[in-house]
Every structure is written in C-alpha cells, then in structure tokens.
Amino acid sequence: MTSTEIPSTMRAMVLESPGTSLQLKTLPIPMPQQAQVLIKIIACGVCRTDLHIVDQELNAPKLPLILGHEIVGMVVKLGESVSDLKVGDLVGVPWLGYTCGKCKYCLRHQENLCENAKFTGYTLDGGYAEYTVAYARYCFPISAEYANASGAPLLCAGLIGYRSYSMLPSHAEHIGFYGFGAAAHILVQLANYQNKKVYAFTRAGDKAAQSFALQMGAVWAGSSEEQAPVKLDAAILFAAVGSLVPKALRDVDKGGTVICGGIHMSDIPSFPYSILWEERSIQSVANLTREDGQHFLALAAEAHIHTHTIPYNLEEANEALGALRKGKFEGAAVLVM
C-alpha cells in the first residue's frame, strides 16, 4: 500500500469519558511523526485492562481515547527517521508504547518501570480502529502465522503472562494458575512445552472454564476455594482478586513464589505471617520490556502456541467488553477489522 492509497478517514471506537460506552466515530487518519509508523490494523485484542480503564480503575487515561493494546497490523507509512521497518512489514503493537531511555529505570534495563513511559490504548491511542500510529522501536515483527486474530492475544495476554511466568523459579514444576482466561490459556501451552504441570483454579461453579483449562493442557482444574491437590512450587494470579493472594500462599510449598500478574487488583485482605513464613514470596508484575516480547514471540513460534479467540466486528467493541466483564467466554475476544 502506498501513501496515495491510504484513505483520509477511518472508523474508531472512542472512549469520550470513563464509565461510558465507546462511541463509533469517523476520524482523520493519524499521520506518523518522527520515529513512528502508520499501521493498518488487522485485529486488536480486547483485554481486561481495557475494562479497568473504562471502569475508572486506571484513572489517568488520555481523553478522548481509542482503547486497545493487542494490535496486529501492517505498516503502510513511515515517519521520518524510521529505518528498522518498511512498508508492508507485519507487526504487533503491545501495551508498552514508548520509553524515554534516560531515566534511572531505563538506564538499569528496567524500561517497564520508565518514569516517562507511554502506554498503547491508555496514554497513546490504540487499536480499536482501522489505523493507528506507533513508535517503530516498540513494534514487534511478527510472522504471517500470527498476522490475524490469533496473534492479537499474544501481544498482552501472552506478553504479560510470559513476564509473570518468567519470574517463576526455574525448578518450579507444579504451578498454580488462578483465573483461567486469555493469559492462562496461552501460558499453559508454554508450561506443557517445558514439561511443567499446571493446576487451574477458577471461580466456584465455573465448570466451563475448568473444562477449558483441562482441554488446553492443565493437569487439574477446580474451584479457587478448593485446596490444591499437591503442594505447589509457584503460583500466578491472573484473576484481579486480592483475596486469592493468601489462598495462593497457603497452596504453595516452602520457598514458593506467588506472582500477581495484573495491572489492577482488588484489596488484599490481611493474613497471618505463618503462611508467608518459610521463605514464601509475593511478586507483582508491571508492564513489559521489549526483550520480553522478543523472547516470548520466538518461544510462541517454537512451541506452536495457538490461541482460542472469539471474533467481534469493530462496532461491537462494547458488546465484547460486556461479555468479558461477565466472563461469558473462554479464551480471548478480538476485534477484527
């Protein structure tokens, strides 16, 4: 596609103010500035973080805002100084949209904690649209295999899940996943590939999610109210439920690690020191680094990870968010342009 073939307007689902439904708008096509590229969007995943923004649990969004940070698309125009991408390249755009490279965190290789970071679909317009711009250095080249709806969940559910997973000790063999949705259904495949055993905990009575977890490779699935069938070496909390922290601590063995993989979580209730003692630990996860993306996307191809997606049209974004809020599907919702 050349610049002369790029239309002058696009459709986008826009959040005008938190707590309201997204509005279908016709907007001018954004033009890439220096170091940016214009991307024609193929698909964009619908993430629980998007719900946190709409529901005002993440309360500093750019407004008006185009949500979406699990973007798969094709580069159609280059901004000045872009040399590492070309028109026609297939790319993925994640949550981390920009870092300064100068703050103390960037200088010690913790760009996920950058003091001046910008985030796709939060402080930068995202992928609930037909086109978007992104900083070229924060785009990941992707293969044709994932240049469709199936690739979108890898860009956040996969990446943040992988950052959580990579924090587990290498010896961990028995791993608990608390909440089994978009991220867990990807990471269980990686765990299986590495000969680890996953125990899936879901909401009480959610037999569909438990069946889905077993189908995707978990060795056990049950209610988060149940005791783990074995002492776990580690646990990842994908569900944003603070009361699961002490539950997971009770389930992990001595020296076990509990990873909190969400950007937002309800309050953690008080718990006795005895369940933290014996060198158990709790670790949160913030954002991702570009290195995470490079490692994970290579592993995803190597392990032949596939995603279970539920497609929605762009104008059905509100319906997709509503279904996600109510837990009406297994896997990941994706807007397909």
Report helix, strand or coil for 137: helix
- In the chain, which residues have pLDDT < 50? 1-4
- Reference 336, options 129, 57, 168; nearest CA is 129
Query: Hey, what are 221's tokens?
Result: 């699935």
Rounded CA-CA distance 281/259 in Å is 8
Contacts of residue 106, Cβ cutoff 8 Å, sequence gap at least 6: 99, 100, 114
Count of Cβ atoms closer than 10 Å to residue 215 Cβ: 13
The phi and psi torsions of 262 (rounded to 5 degrees) equal -100, 160
The predicted pLDDT at position 2 comes to 45
205-261 per-position pLDDT tens digit: 999 999 999 999 999 999 999 999 999 999 999 998 999 999 999 999 999 999 999
Count of CA atoms in the C-beta half-sphere (13 A) of 120: 31
| Tokens 């300064």, residue located | 100
Q: Which amino acid is at 210?
A: Q
Torsion of CA 57, 55, 315, 332, to 10 degrees: 60
What six digits make up the tokens of 232? 């776990």
Question: What per-residue confidence (pLDDT) applies to 329?
Answer: 82
Question: pLDDT at position 3, please?
Answer: 46
